[in-house]
Amino acid sequence: MAVRYGYRSLGDGDGDEDLDVDEMLAHLADDFMEHGDLDEAMDRLLREGYQSENGERIEGLRDLLGRARRRRRELEQQADPDGELQRYREWLNDIETLESRELDELLAEAEASGDERRAEVTRDLVDQRRLQQDLMSDQLGERLAGYREYEFVSSQAREEFERLMDELERDVLNTYFERSKEFMGRPDPEELVRMREMMDALSTMIEQDRRGDELDPSFEEFMAKFGDYFPGAENLEDLVRMMAERAAAAEAMFNSLSSDQQAELRNLFDQMMADMDLNFSLNRLVANLRQATPEIDWNRAHRMRGQDGSPFSRAASIAEQLGQLRGLEEFLGQSHAAQGLPEVDVEAVRRNLGDDAAGHVERLQKALQGLKDQGFIDRDGSRLRLSPKGVRKIGQLALKHLFQQMRDSPPLGGHPVATLARGGDREETSRPWEPGEPFSLNLPRTIRNALLRTGPGTPVRLHADDFEVEEYEAVRRSATVFAIDLSLSMAMRGNLVPAKKMVLALTQLIRTKFPRDFVAVVGFGERAQELKLEDVPSLTIDYNYGTNLQHALALSRHLLRNELGERQVVVVTDGEPTAHLMASGEPFFSWPPVKETLERTMAEVLRCTKAGVTINTFALDIERSQFPFVEQIARVNGGRLFYVNVNDLGTYALDDFVRHRRAG
């Protein structure tokens, strides 16, 4: 009885992280097998991203860099400190207009009253107020300081000035403290005293920490008194970082202006802080923050070219975000993405680029860490290395993909799709089921696994991880050598990577399903050599000419000499023999092939045939009329011959292997 088997899509939370690891490894392997440099392959993969099996695009660091640049350009159009300065200037001009109008009306009423004394007193008052206005500086900060000492005649102008000062004081304070404590209204004198005490205490702690003294007050005492300024801070470093980033953002806002604009804005801030008696404490704190955070660029400047004014605190917030984006751009733009990816701050990405971008980074980070944690890759000195476990995993993934292709495709050239053959003696063992393999369920052990996972009770709900399948001892033994053409044409035609995938998949199948079978790999160009399976993914083409099938068959026959059971050489090639070994042991090459090369190759075919070694040949992308030599091999040896497109190589080879390995 044939048992059907298949695949399903995993749902949310059902092995998503393992899927990411498998898919990343599969994409990494494709690039690695094509170019032979694992570090470069990893760097390209993480930089360019990849598309998952379900069609989802996993963005790489290059996409993230593009997002950061676009977001930076957007933010640069949302802040305009000079525009905000102009708004306050115009607001103060309107207040002056209100005051002037009131002065004019007051003088007109006095003069119209006919009371000369009243008119004279009013005239003196108006002249005095206008002289005060004329003597005021053109600098906004100094003008505001002057109006704080000015007695308004107009109650409306006085109220409007109070409203301006209320908004400006709140804006100046939020520029430095919004990340710690946002001021929703004008702070009262007690709050200003408390703020000054907080800055002085924090400066003292930073200075004590720099000297190595014991903190007084302690961090705990400081937080008990001023913790509402620093929500989430867990140590002095958090406090310093929180304040330093905000202060540096304020500096960046200043630095974004021209020298004249910058001087006026700094003067305004100094004046406002002096009016609130905070200037000395703030300057002391900023100086300490600069010393405590040398890694922060306190001289950075950003392009802020917004069209409309916005609060200075908003400009500082944008400057802070621009600083983070610039740091992210510099980080993402450096070489060796594989080394930098683990250091990307996911939460910083989330704050600046949104949940979607953060999700892509997080998935890449987890998948990369999963490759390391599961032992698929490691480091050999400064270079990444694919571990033997990683090579086996690539083989499993390639095998799974081939089974999927076989399931989804019609029978290949009349070959039936592989089903489970029950030949063999049952062993008293079972093992976990792996997707893509025949499904002979060991029911008692499967149910036991489900009960251990979910606990007693009915119904018993099975999960793919619960499945265990019977192990069978094959009655027959087989020995297989995969002989892979490594001539230059294999790389130039794109045939090498599919050939390597086929070898990895079938060797994985043999080692897991037929562990008593013998399997080896031979590569041949101008010479042939035995290859370790672990070396197959990194195998590249040397620029040596020649397709030395004679040496490949001789070496394969030598490897099979002591093996029992059915013995076969699976040859994958894309051309006729063009090289052979001379009596001296040196290779001889000629294109087109000479008679001696063909004769020596056919002589080796005869030796294999007499030794009972079957030669099965997969001829890639070659018209039959152009490649008659492989047909002669098949006629002499009795092996099978397949003319296949490189895209079908794996499925044809797997289908043929399973059918003939299980036959009988």
Q: HEC string of 387-431?
A: CHHHHHHHHHHHHHHHHHHHHHCCCECCECCCCCCCCCEEEEEEE
Residues 431 and 282 in one domain: no
Q: pLDDT value at position 664?
A: 42
Residue type, 358: A
Are the C-beta atoms of 316 and 175 separated by less than 8 Å? yes
Q: pLDDT value at position 162?
A: 94
Residues 126 and 167 in one domain: yes
Q: pLDDT value at position 211?
A: 92
Task: Give the span between the Cα atoms of 355 and 346, in whole angstroms.
Answer: 9
In a domain, 539, yes or no: yes
Find residue 124's DSSP bridge partners: none
Tokens of 513: 């399903």
In a domain, 273, yes or no: yes
Asked if the model's pLDDT at residue 505 lies above 70, the reply is yes
Q: pLDDT value at position 206?
A: 95
Residues 261 and 150 in one domain: yes
Residue 413: band (very low, low, confident or very high) from pLDDT cuts 50, 70, 90: very low
Asked if the model's pLDDT at residue 552 lies above 80, the reply is yes
Domain hosting 485: range is 395-417+477-662
Task: Give the span between the Cα atoms of 477 and 518, in whole angstroms.
Answer: 8
Q: pLDDT value at position 104?
A: 93
Task: Give the span between the Cα atoms of 43 and 604, in whole angstroms.
Answer: 45
- 600 or 494: whose pLDDT is higher? 600
Q: pLDDT value at position 108?
A: 93
Q: pLDDT value at position 422?
A: 35
Rounded to the nearest integer, the mean pLDDT of the chain is 82
Cα 11 to Cα 4, 19, 368, 568, 617, distances in angstroms: 22, 11, 22, 42, 42
Residue 537: band (very low, low, confident or very high) from pLDDT cuts 50, 70, 90: confident
For strands 57-58 and 50-51, give the pairing.
Answer: antiparallel
Mean pLDDT of 316-344: 81
In a domain, 612, yes or no: yes
Residues 280 and 205 in one domain: yes
Asked if the model's pLDDT at residue 244 lies above 50, the reply is yes
Residues 6+ apart with CB under 8 A from 573: 485, 487, 490, 547, 549, 617, 618, 619, 620, 630
Asked if the model's pLDDT at residue 461 lies above 70, the reply is yes
Cβ atoms within 10 A of the Cβ of 267, count?
A: 16
Q: What is the pTM of this model?
A: 0.64
Asked if the model's pLDDT at residue 337 lies above 70, the reply is no
Residues 37 and 112 in one domain: no
CATH of the domain at 545: 3.40.50.410
- Kindly report, residue by residue over 376-401, the tens digit of the pLDDT: 888 877 788 888 888 888 887 777 77
- Kindly report, residue by residue over 129-185, the tens digit of the pLDDT: 999 999 998 889 999 999 999 999 999 999 999 999 999 998 999 898 876 666 666
Find residue 485's DSSP bridge partners: 524
Are the C-beta atoms of 449 and 417 separated by less than 8 Å? no
Count up the domains in the chain and report the number. Answer: 4
Are the C-beta atoms of 603 and 636 separated by less than 8 Å? no
In a domain, 11, yes or no: no
Question: DSSP string covering 347-372, please?
Answer: HHHHHHH-HHHHHHHHHHHHHHHHHH
Residues 111 and 193 in one domain: yes
In the chain, the N- to C-terminal Cα span, in Å, equals 15
Please state, for a pLDDT cut of 70, what percent of the chain lies above it.
87
| Sign of the dihedral through C-alpha 572, 573, 577, 581 | negative
| Sign of the dihedral through C-alpha 472, 473, 474, 477 | positive
Task: Give the span between the Cα atoms of 115 and 279, in whole angstroms.
Answer: 50
In a domain, 9, yes or no: no
Residue 498: band (very low, low, confident or very high) from pLDDT cuts 50, 70, 90: confident
Are the C-beta atoms of 250 and 173 separated by less than 8 Å? no
Task: Give the span between the Cα atoms of 103 and 95, in whole angstroms.
Answer: 12
Final residue before a domain boundary, out of 436, 452, 473: 473
Residues 169 and 48 in one domain: no
Q: pLDDT value at position 409?
A: 60
Residues 55 and 91 in one domain: no
Residues 289 and 359 in one domain: no
Residues 182 and 225 in one domain: yes
Residues 232 and 102 in one domain: yes
- Kindly report, residue by residue over 298-308, the tens digit of the pLDDT: 988 888 776 66
Mean pLDDT of 216-231: 91
Asked if the model's pLDDT at residue 365 lies above 70, the reply is yes
Residues 72 and 88 in one domain: no
In a domain, 10, yes or no: no
In a domain, 3, yes or no: no
46-55, 134-143, 449-458, 547-556: range with lowest mean pLDDT: 449-458
22-31, 235-244, 448-457: range with lowest mean pLDDT: 448-457
Q: pLDDT value at position 471?
A: 62
In a domain, 317, yes or no: no
